[in-house]
Amino acid sequence: MPTHGTGTEDTFESLDPATGDVIATHPIQSEAEVRAAVERAKVAAATWRRLGFAGRREMLDNWKRYIVAHLDDVMTVLSRETGKRPAEAHMELLMTLDHLDWAAKKAKKVLGRQRVPAGLIMANNKAYVEYPALGVIGIIGPWNFPVFTPMGSIAYALAAGNAVVFKPSEYTPGVGRWLAESFAAANPQYADVFRVVTGKGETGAALCRAGVDKLAFTGSTATGKRVMAACAETLTPVVIEGGGKDAFIVDEDVDVAATAEAALWSGMFNAGQACVGTERIYVHEKVYDQFVTEIVEQARALRAGGDPAAQIGPITMPSQKNVIRAHLEDAIEKGSTVMIGGPDTIDAGANGMNCIQPTILTNVPENSLEMTDETFGPTLAINSVASMEEAVERANGTRYGLASTIYSKRRGMELAGEMRAGMTAVNQYLSYAAVPSLPFGGVGESGFGRIHGPDGLKEFTYAHAITKRRYPPPLRLTTFKRTERTERMAARLLKFLYGR
């Protein structure tokens, strides 16, 4: 069986993680090819920018309709390259299209020229702010949501008036190519506005150094640091959407069965390979036993496998199995209890290649890898807490800070205000990601910068301030011809305005 990434010196293969079968062969693009793609995108960017908000909206709407008309094609390549369940692929596409639609519609309102108050001392001026596009945005994406995640940058960067060069993960090159090809098919005259380059890590590194105007990276925190270092050489600004160790906290007043259902899905969907997937759960001690019994019971109904009937798919990147195993073994060695699943279920059973059965651990020491590092598999660590204050403190006790979930009937909004995280969902998991007007991104080692929403549009622009004189200033200070009287009046005005 071939291992992932085999091919020739100039090519690599994408594989079906459930079977190991080769899906397609893709070129490993060299530094020179990446530079050439950026150069072509630069030329295209000028035309795209001149098209204006309305023109770009039309092209992005064409693309949206093309994607919908060819949904089966993208679903097939998405499911084959990642092992994603069809329902998960559908959800990913639905959310993506909603964001594409929103970005195209709202770009003008958010980024177009707006008049702002000029203030008392500049009352003789009109003041404006506008947000022009930066030029060419380099985008490096992960494999876990290979449509939704990069599109959070691609759609918003294009709507803002930039051209894009996208380097998809080596695990999902087919999805990346499909996205660029579909854009070109929908808008042949603008094909160079959105280009894709394929390859491995080195191709991504080349993109950082290829003269892009900004680099939007989504992936692990470790790679994010390398990307930032490479971009620092040319002072290229970056957006870093890194990893997470998201917590889900459960108050004493919840509907335990419904909360367990949500928590189980939040940790296991996409085989736990979600940056905002729940990895840690803190439950109020008054409902802890009931919650654990319920979630374990519900988890018993799930099975991971490569066959279509399995609710949980395979691990897309086989090397991740070593990380999952190491985290589970470390937690067990430190005294955790395995309630279901565990390291012995990795690769086990019929159709279980590259799978791990749903795994739930309890009493997990806070210093174990399962609590401190991103596991990225269908595992959940559940601990009891004496109060919601303790739950918040433990949830925040991470170097990451991507998203969080709170289930509480009475205190949801109050507790949300205490969370150190880029996003918080109250009494429903993941809802923030599906609201296009909300920003998405993290704090701490989860990164910085935002995709989605008005912040996500502005991320791919720069603020341009403009003032226009309406009539001569009452006090002529910005001239060497100013008089002593003017200066005296300025001093008086200063004291009057700010000295009281």
Of 114-122, 166-174, 257-265, 486-494, the segment contacting ligand NDP by CB under 6 A is 166-174
Binding of residue 201 to ligand NDP (CB under 6 A): yes
Q: Give dist(CA 193, CA 156) in Å, integer.
A: 13
Of 23-31, 221-229, 247-255, 492-500, the segment contacting ligand NDP by CB under 6 A is 221-229
Between 35 and 200, CB nearer to ligand NDP: 200
Question: How many C-beta neighbours within 10 Å does residue 119 have?
Answer: 9
CA 383 and chain centroid, separation: 27
Binding of residue 223 to ligand NDP (CB under 6 A): yes
Exactly one of 79, 82, 162, 218 binds ligand NDP (CB under 6 A); that residue is 218
Is 275 a known active-site residue?
yes
Cβ neighbourhood burial of 118 (10 Å; 0-12, 13-18, 19+)? middle
What torsion, rounded to 10 degrees, do the Cα atoms 274, 279, 285, 290 define?
A: 60
Q: Name which of residues 394 to 423 contact ligand NDP (CB under 6 A).
A: 402
Number of residues that bind ligand NDP (CB under 6 A): 32
Exactly one of 14, 169, 298, 311 binds ligand NDP (CB under 6 A); that residue is 169
Of 66-74, 93-101, 136-144, 354-362, the segment contacting ligand NDP by CB under 6 A is 136-144
Exactly one of 63, 102, 131, 143 binds ligand NDP (CB under 6 A); that residue is 143
The phi, psi pair for 31, rounded to 5°, reads -60, -40
Exactly one of 142, 313, 449, 454 binds ligand NDP (CB under 6 A); that residue is 142
> What is the torsional sign of CA 450, 451, 457, 462?
positive
Of 99-107, 212-220, 385-393, 459-467, the segment contacting ligand NDP by CB under 6 A is 212-220
Say if CB 246 and CB 278 are below 8 A apart. yes
Binding of residue 236 to ligand NDP (CB under 6 A): no
Nearest to 182 by CA among 159, 202, 155: 155
Between 152 and 251, CB nearer to ligand NDP: 152
Binding of residue 354 to ligand NDP (CB under 6 A): no
Of 40-48, 223-231, 346-354, 361-369, the segment contacting ligand NDP by CB under 6 A is 223-231
Between 66 and 448, CB nearer to ligand NDP: 448
Binding of residue 165 to ligand NDP (CB under 6 A): no
Smallest distance from ligand NDP to CB 140, Å: 5
- DSSP-derived secondary structure letter, 348: -
Angle between helices 285-299 and 256-268 (to 10 degrees): 60
Q: Give dist(CA 217, CA 30) in Å, integer.
A: 19
Between 56 and 99, CB nearer to ligand NDP: 99
Nearest to 184 by CA among 59, 57, 27, 327: 59
Build a one-symbol-per-residue string for 243-282: x at contacts with ligand NDP by CB under 6 A, - elsewhere: xx------------------------------x-------
Between 216 and 260, CB nearer to ligand NDP: 216
Exactly one of 135, 150, 161, 219 binds ligand NDP (CB under 6 A); that residue is 219
Binding of residue 204 to ligand NDP (CB under 6 A): yes
Binding of residue 144 to ligand NDP (CB under 6 A): yes
Between 384 and 398, CB nearer to ligand NDP: 398
Cβ neighbourhood burial of 301 (10 Å; 0-12, 13-18, 19+)? exposed
- DSSP-derived secondary structure letter, 248: E
Binding of residue 227 to ligand NDP (CB under 6 A): yes
Residue ranges in 214-319 assigned as alpha helix (H): 221-232, 256-268, 285-299
Of 139-147, 293-301, 335-343, 379-387, the segment contacting ligand NDP by CB under 6 A is 139-147
CA angle, residues 79, 66, 107, in degrees to nearest 5: 105
> What is the torsional sign of CA 21, 27, 31, 36?
negative
Reduced to 3 states, what is the DSSP secondary structure of residue 382? strand
Binding of residue 226 to ligand NDP (CB under 6 A): yes
Q: Give dist(CA 281, CA 408) in Å, integer.
A: 13
Binding of residue 155 to ligand NDP (CB under 6 A): no
Residue of 81, 208, 231, 275 with catalytic role: 275
Q: Give dist(CA 463, CA 481) in Å, integer.
A: 33
Angle between helices 71-82 and 52-69 (to 10 degrees): 70
Is 208 a known active-site residue?
no
Residue of 241, 370, 374, 459 with catalytic role: 241
Q: Give dist(CA 352, CA 18) in Å, integer.
A: 8
Question: How many C-beta neighbours within 10 Å does residue 235 have?
Answer: 6
Q: Which residues bind ligand NDP (CB under 6 A)?
A: 140-145, 149, 167, 169-171, 200-201, 204-205, 208, 218-220, 223, 226-227, 241-244, 275, 317, 374, 376, 402, 442
Residues labelled as active-site residues = 241, 275
